[in-house]
Amino acid sequence: QQQVKQSPQSLIVQKGGISIINCAYENTAFDYFPWYQQFPGKGPALLIAIRPDVSEKKEGRFTISFNKSAKQFSLHIMDSQPGDSATYFCAASSAGGYQKVTFGIGTKLQVIP
Amino acid sequence: GAVVSQHPSWVICKSGTSVKIECRSLDFQATTMFWYRQFPKQSLMLMATSNEGSKATYEQGVEKDKFLINHASLTLSTLTVTSAHPEDSSFYICSAPTGGAGQPQHFGDGTRLSIL
């Protein structure tokens, strides 16, 4: 059973456009929702994270929107750049992030000039 | 900032040999570390939770006798793939939580294991 569902699996966006990745979760015990960015041959790097007591969090060009009642959250990348081309994973954890991280399937983002 | 270091970053060895991968927390202590495996173009799947001073907790379907985990200190966890076979070839990644609730987990850069 996939506890964190992520879509789309691949995404092509033009430079300057908005990249949107959506995720949904099942387990209501999750209370910490990070997004990770992974480049080929590297481990995932934390991009931004949110807790369910807020509906939106913005850091630079990256924004997480969170809908607790629908158990859905999404990542918006504004003004997408070719350097943003990577695989993005939504994830969920409990105990405020101290426990194991459950990953979505990943979205391969390609930003074309 | 908090850093998790893995070593080696890439290892190639013959089938039947055992391979040890180290995961270190460089500027913080970690009583718990996590080991993941990632096949090409797939997501990270948790293999086991490494607990300092006690036995590791393995996820369902992961052979504990094949993937030996030792968490001997507050800054070091090791994963040993015993009698490795080509199907064990994968990208192995560790992570450690940097603090209490609300603090992020940091991941190592992974170890690419290729078994010939």
From CA B46, how far away is CA B63, in angstroms rounded? 13
Write down the pLDDT at residue A100. Answer: 82
Write down the pLDDT at residue A35. Answer: 96
For the stretch A42-52, pLDDT in tens is: 999 999 999 98
Counts for chain A of helices (H) and strands (E), in that order: 0, 11
Find out whether A97 and A87 touch, Cβ atoms under 8 Å: no
Residue B98 has pLDDT above 90, yes or no: no
Write down the pLDDT at residue A98. Answer: 65
Residue A36 has pLDDT above 70, yes or no: yes
Write down the pLDDT at residue B87. Answer: 95
- Residues of chain B above pLDDT 70, percent: 94
Mutation target to probe the B interface, by most B beta carbons within 10 A, among A37, A87, A100 is: A100
Write down the pLDDT at residue B102. Answer: 54
- Nearest chain A residue (CA) to B33: A100
- State the sign of the Cα–Cα–Cα–Cα dihedral A58, A28, B105, B94: negative
Q: Is any Cβ of chain B less than 8 angstroms from the Cβ of A45?
A: yes
Mean model confidence pLDDT for chain B: 91
Q: Is any Cβ of chain B less than 8 angstroms from the Cβ of A42?
A: yes
Instruction: Give the one of B32, B43, B101 whose C-beta lies nearest to A89's C-beta.
Output: B43
Q: How confident is the model at residue B101 (pLDDT cuts 50, 70, 90)?
A: low
Task: State whether residue B88 is helix, strand or coil.
Answer: helix
Distance of alpha carbon A7 from its chain centroid, rounded? Answer: 10
Overall average pLDDT of the A60-69 stretch: 96
For the stretch B24-68, pLDDT in tens is: 999 888 889 999 999 988 999 999 999 998 899 999 999 999 999
- Nearest chain B residue (CA) to A38: B109
Q: Which residue has the tokens 């101290």?
A: A98
Burial B52-61 (b: 16+ CB within 10 A, else e): beeebbbeee
Write down the pLDDT at residue B1. Answer: 58
Write down the pLDDT at residue B2. Answer: 59
Write down the pLDDT at residue A1. Answer: 58
Residue A112 has pLDDT above 60, yes or no: yes
